[in-house]
Chains A and B, each alone.
Chain A
Protein backbone atom coordinates (compact mmCIF):
# COMPACT_ATOMS: atom_id res chain seq x y z
CA UNK A 1 0.00 0.00 0.00
CA UNK A 2 1.46 3.31 -1.06
CA UNK A 3 -1.57 5.28 0.04
CA UNK A 4 -0.77 7.80 2.71
CA UNK A 5 -2.26 7.13 6.10
CA UNK A 6 -5.16 9.38 7.04
CA UNK A 7 -4.36 8.82 10.71
CA UNK A 8 -2.62 11.93 11.99
CA UNK A 9 -0.19 12.11 14.94
CA UNK A 10 -2.89 14.11 16.76
CA UNK A 11 -5.31 11.21 16.35
CA UNK A 12 -2.73 8.74 17.65
CA UNK A 13 -2.09 10.98 20.64
CA UNK A 14 -5.81 10.89 21.51
CA UNK A 15 -5.76 7.12 22.05
CA UNK A 16 -6.30 6.30 25.71
CA UNK A 17 -7.30 9.82 26.79
CA UNK A 18 -10.46 9.59 28.89
CA UNK A 19 -13.36 11.95 28.16
CA UNK A 20 -15.03 14.23 30.68
CA UNK A 21 -17.67 12.45 32.74
CA UNK A 22 -21.39 13.02 32.21
CA UNK A 23 -24.06 11.78 34.60
CA UNK A 24 -27.29 10.50 33.06
CA UNK A 25 -30.46 10.43 35.16
CA UNK A 26 -32.41 7.29 34.31
CA UNK A 27 -36.12 8.08 33.90
CA UNK A 28 -38.79 5.41 34.04
CA UNK A 29 -40.50 6.83 30.96
CA UNK A 30 -37.26 6.65 28.99
CA UNK A 31 -36.89 2.94 29.82
CA UNK A 32 -40.47 2.21 28.75
CA UNK A 33 -40.05 4.24 25.55
CA UNK A 34 -36.80 2.45 24.73
CA UNK A 35 -38.34 -1.01 25.31
CA UNK A 36 -41.26 -0.04 23.05
CA UNK A 37 -38.88 1.22 20.34
CA UNK A 38 -36.95 -2.05 20.23
CA UNK A 39 -40.24 -3.99 20.34
CA UNK A 40 -39.41 -5.88 23.55
CA UNK A 41 -42.58 -6.54 25.57
CA UNK A 42 -40.85 -8.17 28.55
CA UNK A 43 -42.88 -6.90 31.56
CA UNK A 44 -39.73 -6.19 33.63
CA UNK A 45 -39.18 -3.18 31.34
CA UNK A 46 -42.67 -1.71 31.28
CA UNK A 47 -45.06 -3.28 33.81
CA UNK A 48 -44.41 -1.99 37.31
CA UNK A 49 -46.62 -4.56 39.01
CA UNK A 50 -45.12 -7.56 37.22
CA UNK A 51 -41.61 -6.15 37.63
CA UNK A 52 -42.08 -5.84 41.41
CA UNK A 53 -42.79 -9.56 41.59
CA UNK A 54 -39.68 -10.35 39.56
CA UNK A 55 -36.23 -11.05 41.02
CA UNK A 56 -35.36 -7.37 40.47
CA UNK A 57 -38.19 -6.05 42.62
CA UNK A 58 -38.99 -3.31 40.12
CA UNK A 59 -38.48 -2.08 36.58
CA UNK A 60 -35.07 -2.50 34.98
CA UNK A 61 -33.67 -1.34 31.65
CA UNK A 62 -33.06 -3.56 28.59
CA UNK A 63 -29.40 -4.50 28.04
CA UNK A 64 -28.78 -1.98 25.28
CA UNK A 65 -30.56 0.93 27.04
CA UNK A 66 -27.08 2.34 27.68
CA UNK A 67 -27.12 3.41 24.02
CA UNK A 68 -29.47 6.23 25.02
CA UNK A 69 -26.90 7.66 27.44
CA UNK A 70 -24.17 10.08 26.58
CA UNK A 71 -20.67 10.58 27.88
CA UNK A 72 -18.96 13.85 28.60
CA UNK A 73 -17.04 15.62 25.82
CA UNK A 74 -13.68 14.31 24.66
CA UNK A 75 -10.70 16.21 26.06
CA UNK A 76 -8.92 15.67 22.76
CA UNK A 77 -11.32 15.71 19.83
CA UNK A 78 -10.72 13.26 17.01
CA UNK A 79 -12.32 13.88 13.64
CA UNK A 80 -12.15 11.28 10.92
CA UNK A 81 -11.38 12.93 7.55
CA UNK A 82 -14.37 11.01 6.11
CA UNK A 83 -17.91 12.26 6.59
CA UNK A 84 -19.86 9.01 6.19
CA UNK A 85 -20.10 6.78 9.23
CA UNK A 86 -21.17 3.22 9.98
CA UNK A 87 -21.39 1.35 13.24
CA UNK A 88 -19.18 -1.76 13.07
CA UNK A 89 -20.31 -3.46 16.24
CA UNK A 90 -20.38 -3.54 20.02
CA UNK A 91 -19.09 -5.75 22.81
CA UNK A 92 -20.81 -5.49 26.17
CA UNK A 93 -19.95 -6.62 29.65
CA UNK A 94 -22.82 -6.41 32.14
CA UNK A 95 -22.40 -6.17 35.90
CA UNK A 96 -25.35 -4.37 37.49
CA UNK A 97 -28.98 -3.85 36.46
CA UNK A 98 -30.09 -0.29 35.68
CA UNK A 99 -33.25 1.00 37.37
CA UNK A 100 -35.37 4.14 37.17
CA UNK A 101 -33.77 6.82 39.34
CA UNK A 102 -30.24 5.55 38.82
CA UNK A 103 -27.57 8.09 38.01
CA UNK A 104 -25.15 6.58 35.53
CA UNK A 105 -21.86 8.38 34.98
CA UNK A 106 -20.40 7.75 31.54
CA UNK A 107 -16.83 8.20 30.37
CA UNK A 108 -15.35 7.07 27.10
CA UNK A 109 -11.96 6.79 25.48
CA UNK A 110 -10.52 5.81 22.13
CA UNK A 111 -8.76 2.49 22.46
CA UNK A 112 -7.52 2.01 18.90
CA UNK A 113 -7.52 3.60 15.41
CA UNK A 114 -6.67 1.76 12.21
CA UNK A 115 -7.37 1.81 8.47
CA UNK A 116 -8.33 -0.82 5.96
CA UNK A 117 -9.38 -0.84 2.30
CA UNK A 118 -12.97 -2.06 1.97
CA UNK A 119 -15.82 -2.08 -0.50
CA UNK A 120 -16.46 1.60 0.24
CA UNK A 121 -12.81 2.59 -0.37
CA UNK A 122 -10.34 3.44 2.37
CA UNK A 123 -12.10 2.97 5.70
CA UNK A 124 -11.07 4.26 9.09
CA UNK A 125 -11.89 2.24 12.18
CA UNK A 126 -12.10 4.00 15.54
CA UNK A 127 -12.58 1.75 18.56
CA UNK A 128 -13.90 3.20 21.80
CA UNK A 129 -14.36 1.89 25.29
CA UNK A 130 -17.23 3.39 27.29
CA UNK A 131 -17.76 2.81 30.98
CA UNK A 132 -21.10 3.17 32.80
CA UNK A 133 -20.82 3.64 36.58
CA UNK A 134 -23.85 3.91 38.86
CA UNK A 135 -24.43 6.23 41.84
CA UNK A 136 -22.93 3.65 44.20
CA UNK A 137 -19.63 3.62 42.34
CA UNK A 138 -20.27 0.19 40.82
CA UNK A 139 -19.58 -0.38 37.14
CA UNK A 140 -22.92 -1.32 35.60
CA UNK A 141 -21.55 -2.06 32.13
CA UNK A 142 -18.68 -1.58 29.73
CA UNK A 143 -19.24 -1.17 26.01
CA UNK A 144 -16.53 -1.48 23.34
CA UNK A 145 -17.57 -0.11 19.96
CA UNK A 146 -16.05 0.04 16.50
CA UNK A 147 -16.96 3.07 14.38
CA UNK A 148 -16.23 2.93 10.65
CA UNK A 149 -15.93 6.03 8.47
CA UNK A 150 -15.47 6.38 4.73
CA UNK A 151 -15.60 8.90 1.89
CA UNK A 152 -19.15 9.19 0.51
CA UNK A 153 -19.16 8.32 -3.22
CA UNK A 154 -20.41 11.73 -4.41
CA UNK A 155 -17.56 13.59 -2.72
CA UNK A 156 -14.69 11.54 -4.17
Chain B
Protein backbone atom coordinates (compact mmCIF):
# COMPACT_ATOMS: atom_id res chain seq x y z
CA UNK B 1 0.00 0.00 0.00
CA UNK B 2 1.11 3.51 -0.72
CA UNK B 3 1.91 5.83 2.16
CA UNK B 4 -1.02 7.68 3.69
CA UNK B 5 -1.64 11.10 2.18
CA UNK B 6 -2.56 13.89 4.60
CA UNK B 7 -4.64 17.05 4.23
CA UNK B 8 -1.47 19.10 4.67
CA UNK B 9 0.09 17.37 1.65
CA UNK B 10 -2.43 18.62 -0.91
CA UNK B 11 -3.10 21.99 -2.51
CA UNK B 12 -5.45 23.10 -5.23
CA UNK B 13 -3.83 21.75 -8.37
CA UNK B 14 -2.26 18.70 -6.71
CA UNK B 15 -2.56 15.75 -9.04
CA UNK B 16 -4.31 12.57 -7.98
CA UNK B 17 -2.14 9.50 -8.65
CA UNK B 18 -2.87 7.96 -12.06
CA UNK B 19 -4.42 4.48 -12.17
CA UNK B 20 -3.94 2.39 -15.31
CA UNK B 21 -6.46 -0.30 -16.13
CA UNK B 22 -6.31 -2.83 -18.95
CA UNK B 23 -9.88 -4.05 -19.37
CA UNK B 24 -10.41 -7.25 -21.35
CA UNK B 25 -13.51 -9.03 -22.63
CA UNK B 26 -12.90 -11.48 -19.76
CA UNK B 27 -13.13 -8.64 -17.26
CA UNK B 28 -16.44 -7.51 -18.79
CA UNK B 29 -17.84 -11.01 -18.30
CA UNK B 30 -16.52 -11.09 -14.72
CA UNK B 31 -18.12 -7.70 -14.08
CA UNK B 32 -21.41 -8.85 -15.61
CA UNK B 33 -21.44 -11.79 -13.21
CA UNK B 34 -20.37 -9.84 -10.13
CA UNK B 35 -22.77 -6.94 -10.70
CA UNK B 36 -25.69 -8.82 -12.22
CA UNK B 37 -25.66 -6.53 -15.28
CA UNK B 38 -26.08 -8.99 -18.13
CA UNK B 39 -26.92 -6.49 -20.88
CA UNK B 40 -25.47 -8.08 -24.01
CA UNK B 41 -23.77 -4.96 -25.40
CA UNK B 42 -20.95 -5.77 -22.96
CA UNK B 43 -20.11 -9.26 -24.24
CA UNK B 44 -22.06 -10.09 -27.42
CA UNK B 45 -20.41 -8.41 -30.41
CA UNK B 46 -23.28 -9.10 -32.81
CA UNK B 47 -25.78 -7.68 -30.33
CA UNK B 48 -23.61 -4.59 -29.76
CA UNK B 49 -23.32 -3.96 -33.51
CA UNK B 50 -27.08 -4.31 -33.95
CA UNK B 51 -27.41 -1.55 -31.36
CA UNK B 52 -25.26 0.77 -33.45
CA UNK B 53 -22.12 0.28 -31.36
CA UNK B 54 -18.67 -0.29 -32.88
CA UNK B 55 -17.71 -3.12 -30.51
CA UNK B 56 -18.70 -4.50 -27.13
CA UNK B 57 -18.22 -1.65 -24.68
CA UNK B 58 -17.20 -1.33 -21.06
CA UNK B 59 -20.02 -1.18 -18.54
CA UNK B 60 -20.38 2.42 -17.42
CA UNK B 61 -20.50 1.12 -13.87
CA UNK B 62 -17.14 -0.65 -14.35
CA UNK B 63 -15.64 2.70 -15.35
CA UNK B 64 -17.35 4.14 -12.28
CA UNK B 65 -15.59 1.47 -10.21
CA UNK B 66 -12.25 2.40 -11.80
CA UNK B 67 -12.79 6.04 -10.82
CA UNK B 68 -13.82 4.96 -7.33
CA UNK B 69 -10.50 3.12 -7.07
CA UNK B 70 -8.62 6.17 -8.34
CA UNK B 71 -9.95 7.99 -5.30
CA UNK B 72 -9.72 5.23 -2.69
CA UNK B 73 -6.14 4.37 -3.73
CA UNK B 74 -5.16 8.03 -3.49
CA UNK B 75 -6.90 8.94 -0.21
CA UNK B 76 -5.56 5.76 1.41
CA UNK B 77 -6.84 3.77 4.38
CA UNK B 78 -7.58 6.84 6.49
CA UNK B 79 -9.29 8.85 3.79
CA UNK B 80 -13.08 8.68 3.41
CA UNK B 81 -14.86 8.92 0.07
CA UNK B 82 -18.00 11.04 0.51
CA UNK B 83 -19.24 11.75 -3.00
CA UNK B 84 -18.45 10.37 -6.43
CA UNK B 85 -20.03 11.34 -9.73
CA UNK B 86 -19.31 10.09 -13.23
CA UNK B 87 -20.71 10.81 -16.67
CA UNK B 88 -20.29 8.36 -19.52
CA UNK B 89 -19.63 10.72 -22.43
CA UNK B 90 -17.61 8.38 -24.61
CA UNK B 91 -17.48 4.65 -25.00
CA UNK B 92 -14.49 2.56 -24.05
CA UNK B 93 -13.76 -0.82 -25.56
CA UNK B 94 -11.81 -3.78 -24.15
CA UNK B 95 -8.29 -4.42 -25.40
CA UNK B 96 -6.95 -0.91 -24.91
CA UNK B 97 -5.82 0.67 -21.63
CA UNK B 98 -7.71 3.41 -19.81
CA UNK B 99 -6.12 5.83 -17.38
CA UNK B 100 -7.87 7.22 -14.29
CA UNK B 101 -6.60 10.67 -13.36
CA UNK B 102 -7.57 13.61 -11.22
CA UNK B 103 -6.65 17.00 -9.82
CA UNK B 104 -7.56 18.74 -6.57
CA UNK B 105 -9.96 21.64 -7.21
CA UNK B 106 -10.82 22.73 -3.65
CA UNK B 107 -9.58 22.14 -0.15
CA UNK B 108 -11.38 23.31 3.00
CA UNK B 109 -12.54 22.34 6.47
CA UNK B 110 -16.22 21.71 7.14
CA UNK B 111 -17.84 20.43 10.34
CA UNK B 112 -14.49 19.29 11.67
CA UNK B 113 -13.56 17.40 8.52
CA UNK B 114 -10.72 18.08 6.07
CA UNK B 115 -12.41 18.07 2.70
CA UNK B 116 -10.84 17.87 -0.74
CA UNK B 117 -12.82 18.12 -3.95
CA UNK B 118 -11.29 16.60 -7.06
CA UNK B 119 -12.02 16.68 -10.74
CA UNK B 120 -11.47 13.12 -11.92
CA UNK B 121 -11.68 11.43 -15.29
CA UNK B 122 -10.87 8.38 -17.35
CA UNK B 123 -9.01 8.92 -20.57
CA UNK B 124 -8.35 6.45 -23.32
CA UNK B 125 -4.92 5.64 -24.78
CA UNK B 126 -5.26 8.59 -27.15
CA UNK B 127 -5.81 11.01 -24.28
CA UNK B 128 -9.54 11.47 -24.94
CA UNK B 129 -11.53 12.00 -21.75
CA UNK B 130 -14.37 9.51 -22.11
CA UNK B 131 -15.59 9.63 -18.53
CA UNK B 132 -15.45 12.89 -16.59
CA UNK B 133 -16.33 12.90 -12.92
CA UNK B 134 -16.02 14.63 -9.59
CA UNK B 135 -15.25 13.39 -6.11
CA UNK B 136 -15.38 14.71 -2.57
CA UNK B 137 -13.32 13.05 0.14
CA UNK B 138 -12.17 13.68 3.72
CA UNK B 139 -8.47 13.33 4.49
CA UNK B 140 -6.75 12.83 7.85
CA UNK B 141 -4.49 15.46 9.38
CA UNK B 142 -0.80 14.75 9.69
CA UNK B 143 -0.20 13.52 13.23
CA UNK B 144 1.84 15.84 15.53
Q: Using CB atoms and an 8 Å cutoff, list the residues of chain A in contact with chain B.
A: 30, 33-34, 36-40, 42-44, 54-55, 62-64, 67-68, 70, 84-94, 120, 152-154
CB-based nearest B residue for A156:
B52
B64 touches A90 (CB 8 A): yes
Q: Which residues of B have CB within 8 Å of A67?
A: 35, 37, 61, 64-65
Q: Mark B59-98, 1 if CB is under 8 A from A, else 0.
A: 1111011101101110001101111111110000000000
Q: Which residues of A have CB within 8 Å of B52?
A: 84, 120, 152-153
B64 to chain A, nearest CB (A): 5
B109 contacts the other chain (Cβ, under 8 Å)? no
B85 touches A91 (CB 8 A): yes
A62 touches B69 (CB 8 A): yes
A104 to chain B, nearest CB (A): 14
Chain B interface residue number, banded: 35 or more
Segment at the interface with A among B10-18, B26-34, B112-120: B26-34
Tell me whether A92 and B27 are in contact in the complex, defined as CB-CB below 8 angstroms, given that A34-B35, A38-B65 are known contacts. no
Most A-side CB within 10 Å, residue of B34, B60, B78, B86: B34
Tell me whether A90 and B82 are in contact in the complex, defined as CB-CB below 8 angstroms, given that A44-B77, A54-B77, A154-B50 are known contacts. no
Q: Which residues of A have CB within 8 Å of B86?
A: 89-91
Residue in contact with B27 in the complex, picked from A33, A37, A85, A89, CB distance below 8 Å: A37
Determine chain A's interface SS by DSSP, over half rule. mixed
Cα distance A64–B34 in the bound complex, in angstroms: 11
Cα distance A86–B53 in the bound complex, in angstroms: 11
Q: Which residues of A have CB within 8 Å of B65?
A: 38, 40, 62-64, 67
CB-based nearest B residue for A88:
B88
Cα distance A128–B26 in the bound complex, in angstroms: 29
Q: Which residues of A have CB within 8 Å of B126?
A: none
Cα distance A153–B73 in the bound complex, in angstroms: 41
Tell me whether A38 and B66 are in contact in the complex, defined as CB-CB below 8 angstroms, given that A84-B52, A87-B61, A152-B51 are known contacts. yes
Q: Which residues of B have CB within 8 Å of A55?
A: 77-78
B82 touches A38 (CB 8 A): no
